[in-house]
């Protein structure tokens, strides 16, 4: 059953991503011409068996051969033709040749009904497999519809219709109520209410204000809005997600690769064993040797030995796991990562944007013999050059407070990784960052700030401590649930949080959530060091982050996970697993899906090998008929396929 095996590849839409009601597809069965031939074949096969069983007068030789022969041509003809094509290419050891030899051989010894039954059930198995593949394909097809083919661009006050590929960065596009936004950008209108489910899986409408980030695929829910584009069509978050989806099964799991290699060795072995089963008994039985008996046993042996269940159910099992992940807002970039998730014993995570919302707001401004408005003005002017969420919070605070910046007076700006930012604003030399920044430049500051549990930005002006700004970030709603769920997984023995924030803040979050170990005050390279220490202890690590600074650690870990809804492109591109919903609770879900997939894979392997070995022995001993062979081959394959599909209906 491998003629659909190539479909198990995301380039054909095999990897489903289904995060929203927008992309839900109704599961309906449609009877088409592909089902017509096996249905008619089954009907006439049963009629023929009935004629033969009741010894109907006209159903005498050569009528049965003609009757069953015509059915065989319709049902098995395409399989035989494919076998012949493969033989001409030098590919002899494949299931099509095995099935053709076995069923034609059945006709030669007069087992017409059995020969057709083998082919018929084989074709039905193919349809089951195709249905399983198509079921998951529909999700990606629905997601592709999220992309917009037309966009309204405002040029010189006029509305012009273009394809999104033609729109440049900085142009103004508009979307009516109910329309999808075509490109990433900033909201140009005063406010908007958007459905972000296609990207984040969150069905709750998201309110946006002027200047807020909006992404392609979001749906405008109320009035006409305008968006200033910040990316080209090919660089939108949605386009990158779709590209990742299309490449998702490029990396195959070790189990899948092992079974594929074994099948190539296994097939020629059983082929020659079947020939030996016909020839060798002749030398031991002498005059008692009956060619037809041993030939029939060899044919039964061939039918039983066909590796359909293994070759198909294993990749289909991983395929089902990827589909289950996508239904839960999780994108596995390869089936091998499903396997790796089962081995994770240590979960390491970033704080900001992963466990917290990463949406900061200024709480208070404290000065040290310095004008408050001027301190905010200088800091906001400097921070406009940073994309850090804390910097953005200070800039927004200045805008809301109607404090004008001094942007025109900026001379130079330098961002110091893990410390803060330094620059010249007019006549002022300004430093804004953490305690390490102050210590780096030997600035005398209030030592009480070391025990402050809040997130603070300390500011120095012209070499003197000028004050600080406190910033608040909120913990995500399901963060506590995420940690609890991870603790409930037996394999996971430790949960670690790494953060660049100061230790007091990190400890506070860790205590509230129940995290085993929390380390703060880390630079990006320090996070790498901490992960390397854990790996040196033999730990299998899953690291979860969302920022550009998390990309190196994501790459280093055994399984790298990224918050994909609004995470940085660098984190998404380097991650092995992407959590589209930005919910930390999905980390546990990803591990559970990996465990469930692995369990189903090994169930299928045990089922296929166990039944086949048993019936192969019985067949060689003459204790199994062609009907047992049919059940052992196609029946087991069907059960394995149904078992593999089952994972997509599980709740995690």
* Sheet with 559-563, edge to edge strand ranges: 330-332, 577-579, 559-563, 541-545, 346-350, 494-498, 517-519
The 3-class secondary structure across 290-341, one letter per residue, is CHHHHHHHHHHHHHHHCCHHHHHHHHHHHHHHHHHHHHCCEEECCHHHHHHH
Secondary structure class of 505 (helix, strand, coil): helix
Query: What are phi and psi for residue 474, nearest 5 degrees?
Result: -105, 145
Phi and psi at 63, nearest 5°, equal -55, -45
Distance CA 197, CA 320 (A): 22
Structure tokens at 459: 């500011």
- Choice among 350, 501, 582, 633 that is catalytic: 350
Give the Cα separation of 110 and 68 in Å (integer).
10
Closest CA to 434 of 420, 445, 448, 447: 420
Q: Kindly report the number of other CB atoms within 10 A of residue 500's CB atom.
A: 23
Tell which residue, 225, 126, 215, 106, has the closest CA to residue 172.
225
Assess contact for 599 and 578: CB atoms under 8 A.
no
Start-to-end CA span in the chain (Å): 30
- Residue 618 contacts residue 628 (beta carbons within 8 Å): yes
Helix axes 308-327, 112-144, angle to 10 degrees: 20
- Rounded distance, CA 535 to CA 530, Å? 9
Which among 404, 446, 439 is positioned nearest to 425, based on CA atoms?
404
Phi, then psi, of 327 in degrees rounded to 5: -70, -25
Judge whether 87 and 97 are in contact, CB under 8 Å: yes
Note if 550 is an active site residue: no
Strands (E), 485-583: 494-498, 517-519, 541-545, 559-563, 577-579
What are the strands of the beta sheet with 172-175, ordered from one edge? 158-162, 151-155, 172-175, 225-229, 185-187, 213-214
Number of H helices, E strands in the chain: 21, 22
Gap between the Cα atoms of 348 and 493, Å rounded: 11
Rg (CA), the chain: 33
Active site residue ranges: 350
């Amino acid at each position: 059953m491998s003629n659909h095996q190539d479909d198990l590849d995301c380039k054909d839409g095999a990897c489903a991503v289904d995060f929203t009601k927008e992309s839900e597809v109704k599961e309906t069965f449609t009877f088409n011409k592909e089902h017509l031939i096996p249905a008619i074949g089954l009907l006439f096969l049963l009629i023929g068996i009935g004629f033969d069983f009741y010894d109907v007068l006209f159903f005498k030789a050569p009528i049965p051969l003609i009757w069953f022969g015509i059915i065989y041509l319709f049902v098995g003809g395409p399989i035989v033709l494919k076998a012949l094509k493969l033989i001409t290419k030098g590919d002899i050891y494949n299931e099509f040749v095995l099935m053709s030899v076995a069923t034609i051989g059945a006709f030669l010894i007069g087992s017409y009904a059995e020969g057709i039954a083998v082919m018929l059930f084989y074709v039905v198995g193919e349809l089951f497999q195709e249905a399983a593949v198509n079921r998951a394909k529909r999700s990606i097809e629905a997601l592709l519809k999220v992309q917009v083919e037309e966009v309204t661009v405002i040029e010189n006050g006029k509305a012009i219709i273009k394809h999104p590929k033609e729109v440049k960065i900085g142009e103004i596009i508009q979307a009516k109520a109910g329309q999808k936004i075509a490109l990433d950008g900033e909201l140009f209108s005063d406010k908007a209410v958007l459905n972000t489910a296609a990207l984040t899986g969150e069905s709750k409408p998201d309110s946006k204000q002027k200047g807020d980030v909006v992404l392609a695929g979001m749906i405008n829910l109320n009035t006409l809005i305008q968006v200033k584009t910040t990316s080209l069509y090919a660089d939108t978050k949605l386009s990158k997600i779709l590209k990742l989806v299309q490449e998702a099964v490029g990396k195959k799991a070790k189990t899948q690769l092992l079974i594929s290699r074994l099948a190539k060795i296994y097939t020629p072995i059983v082929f020659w064993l079947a020939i030996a089963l016909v020839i060798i008994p002749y030398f031991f039985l002498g005059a008692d040797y009956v060619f037809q008996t041993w030939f029939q046993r060899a044919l039964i042996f061939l039918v039983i030995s066909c590796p359909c269940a293994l070759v198909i159910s294993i990749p289909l099992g991983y395929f089902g796991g990827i589909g289950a992940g996508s239904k839960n807002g999780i994108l596995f970039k390869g089936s091998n990562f499903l396997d790796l998730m089962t081995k994770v014993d240590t979960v390491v995570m970033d704080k900001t944007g992963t466990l917290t919302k990463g949406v900061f707001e200024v709480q208070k401004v404290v000065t040290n013999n310095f004008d408050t408005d001027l301190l905010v003005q200088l800091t906001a002017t400097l921070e406009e050059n940073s994309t850090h969420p804390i910097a953005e919070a200070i800039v927004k605070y200045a805008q809301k407070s109607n404090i004008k910046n001094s942007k025109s007076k900026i001379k130079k700006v330098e961002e110091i990784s893990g410390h803060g930012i330094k620059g010249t604003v007019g006549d002022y030399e300004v430093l804004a960052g953490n305690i390490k920044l102050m210590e780096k430049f030997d600035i005398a500051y209030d030592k009480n700030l070391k025990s402050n549990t809040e997130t603070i930005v300390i500011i120095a002006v012209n070499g003197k401590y000028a004050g600080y700004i406190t910033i608040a970030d909120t913990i995500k709603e399901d963060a506590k649930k995420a940690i609890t769920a991870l603790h409930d997984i037996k394999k996971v023995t430790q949960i670690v949080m790494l953060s660049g924030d100061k230790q007091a803040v990190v400890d506070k979050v860790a205590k509230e959530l129940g995290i085993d170990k929390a380390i703060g005050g880390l630079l990006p390279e320090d996070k790498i060091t901490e992960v390397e220490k854990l790996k040196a202890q033999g730990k299998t690590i899953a690291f979860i982050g969302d920022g550009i600074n998390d990309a190196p650690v994501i790459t280093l870990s055994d399984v790298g996970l990224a918050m994909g809804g609004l995470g940085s492109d660098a984190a998404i591109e380097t991650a092995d697993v992407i959590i589209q919903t930005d919910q930390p609770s999905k980390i546990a879900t990803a591990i559970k899906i990996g465990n469930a997939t692995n369990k189903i894979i090994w169930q299928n392997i045990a089922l296929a090998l166990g039944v086949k070995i048993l019936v192969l022995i019985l067949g060689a001993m003459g204790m199994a008929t062609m009907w047992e062979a049919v059940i052992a081959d196609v029946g087991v394959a069907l059960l394995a396929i149904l078992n593999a599909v089952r994972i997509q209906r599980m709740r995690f």
